[in-house]
Amino acid sequence: MFPLLKTGGLADVAGALPLALQQAGADVRVLLPGFAPVLADLEHAVLVADVVSPWGSTSHLRFGRLRSSGLPAYVLDAPHYYQREGSPYEDAKRRAHADNHRRFALLGWVGAKLSHGLDKTWQPNIVHSHDWHAALTPAYASFAGAAGAAPVQVYTIHNLAYQGLFSRAQFVELGLPAKAFAIQGLEFHDQMSFMKAGLFYADHLTTVSPSYAQEIQTPEQGCGLDGLLRERSACLTGILNGVDETVWDPAQDPAIVATYHAQRPQGKTRCKAALQARMGLAVQPNALLFGIVSRLTEQKGLQLVLSAVDDLLAWGGQLVVLGSGDPALEQAWRQLAIDHPGAVAVHVGYDEDLAHQVFAGTDVTLVPSRFEPCGLTQMYGLKYGSLPLVHRVGGLADTVEDCSLENLDSGRANGFVFHPFQVNALRRAIERAFALYKRSAQWRAVRSGAMRQPLGWEAAASQYMALYRSLLAK
């Protein structure tokens, strides 16, 4: 949950959506694993219960309020699972923790317990679980066998490609009945899929953009679960994520050297010069500056950029890259920066302030993903006047309109879109960016329109609230 702990966009959603739902009138409480930053942020904590997992470990469920957001929160105080060096999923040597199945099954187990009255002072109507990490919640809840009306279980897919796959042998530790390990359950090619548990047992499914809701029902993007998703299509809704505008707003961003907004964009020029200087690029105000803020993985389509970068540089462009991931891709980007000093700059790792500075200082945000459930990066680019250049897929297709003549004429244009997923299509989109940049008045008009788009969480929260009400009415 941003700003406490972040490995990707899921943390941004977890930090912003509950607050937006609260503002829309919901009585929201979040349930989080007790990672060190989360426990340190929890104020006025009281013990709700000591919980013994199906495999025999004891943890303490505490309830309090998060200092950073004011949100009421249940936190699983289990140091033996969550107080470790490394990331939430890997040790310091980037090896997945051998007991990840237990660490995240515990989250689902306690979520189901809260569904069925573990906290005697508060009973939810809706339990909303996110991604594979919490996907066992509806499975545990469905086998709880508790008396009385159970809350509605909603499950959101953030990225179908990350399914939480574990060995068949580990299933027996989790305390689910044997019949749950079946095609109509968690079994997936003789493995156990946490994601499939959420898809099968939840009352309703959502995902993070309307286009992605359609794409995951196809063999090309269904990751082997498209058949199940087609079966459940009547219970599947695509709701586009939003941007936390208290964090991502160039008019009041403390991380950038000069603030600005659509009506007064002059500060962006200073941000560009500062970024070029910080990253060791030639400080050239008229160079078209491209930025990548991304996990460096095959999904993100960065191999296409590597194939097209010579043209980008030959046409006078510059490139800033911020991210980490696949070691081979990290090395490829490092080598590119060595080969093109002053034109390409690479920072391997993640730096939240630098991410803000990249969006503020660049002219174009590159998001050439092979697939993209929603994508927040292109929305950050829009907010900061760094026009997104994207592959037409998932949430990228739902948020970016190409600078074609008809879109420029109608005022819909806000970026550059390519399809199919091929290097020549990407090159043509890069060419269109350079062509528009030469037409400075048109560029400024498109940038101004992009920055004025409503991208906050209000629309998504309203759609979730309507969905919750309709499910409760049934």
CB 79 within 8 A of CB 34: yes
pLDDT digits (tens, 9 = 90+) for 183-239: 999 999 999 999 999 999 999 999 999 999 999 999 999 999 999 999 999 999 999
- 146, pLDDT greater than 90: no
Same domain, 120 and 213: yes
- The sheet carrying 289-296 orders its strands as 344-348, 318-325, 289-296, 364-367, 387-391, 416-418
Is residue 259 included in any domain, yes or no? Answer: no
Same domain, 88 and 114: yes
What's the rounded mean pLDDT across residues 126-145?
96
What's the rounded mean pLDDT across residues 409-422?
97
Same domain, 125 and 26: yes
pLDDT at 7: 86
Q: How confident is the model at residue 425 (pLDDT cuts 50, 70, 90)?
A: very high
CB 164 within 8 A of CB 104: yes
What's the rounded mean pLDDT across residues 154-163?
96
What's the rounded mean pLDDT across residues 312-316?
98
Is residue 46 included in any domain, yes or no? Answer: yes
Number of domains in the chain: 2
Same domain, 93 and 149: yes
Same domain, 395 and 416: yes
What's the rounded mean pLDDT across residues 253-266?
97
Same domain, 186 and 272: no
CB 427 within 8 A of CB 456: no
Token representation of residue 448:
């101004």
Same domain, 193 and 283: no
Residue 209, number of CB atoms within 10 A of its CB: 23
Is residue 255 included in any domain, yes or no? Answer: no
Same domain, 160 and 31: yes
Is residue 418 included in any domain, yes or no? Answer: yes
pLDDT at 148: 61
Same domain, 318 and 359: yes
- CATH code, domain carrying 408: 3.40.50.2000
pLDDT at 9: 85
Q: Which amino acid is at 202?
A: A
Same domain, 273 and 193: no
Domain that holds residue 185: 9-242+458-473
Same domain, 104 and 223: yes
Is residue 248 included in any domain, yes or no? Answer: no
Is residue 4 included in any domain, yes or no? Answer: no
pLDDT digits (tens, 9 = 90+) for 9-65: 899 999 999 999 999 999 999 999 999 999 999 999 999 999 999 999 999 999 999
Is residue 388 included in any domain, yes or no? Answer: yes
Question: Which residues, in sequence order, are CB contacts of 203 under 8 Å at separation 6+?
Answer: 138, 152, 153, 154, 235, 471
Same domain, 353 and 416: yes
Is residue 352 included in any domain, yes or no? Answer: yes
Q: Which amino acid is at 454?
A: P
Residue 387, number of CB atoms within 10 A of its CB: 27
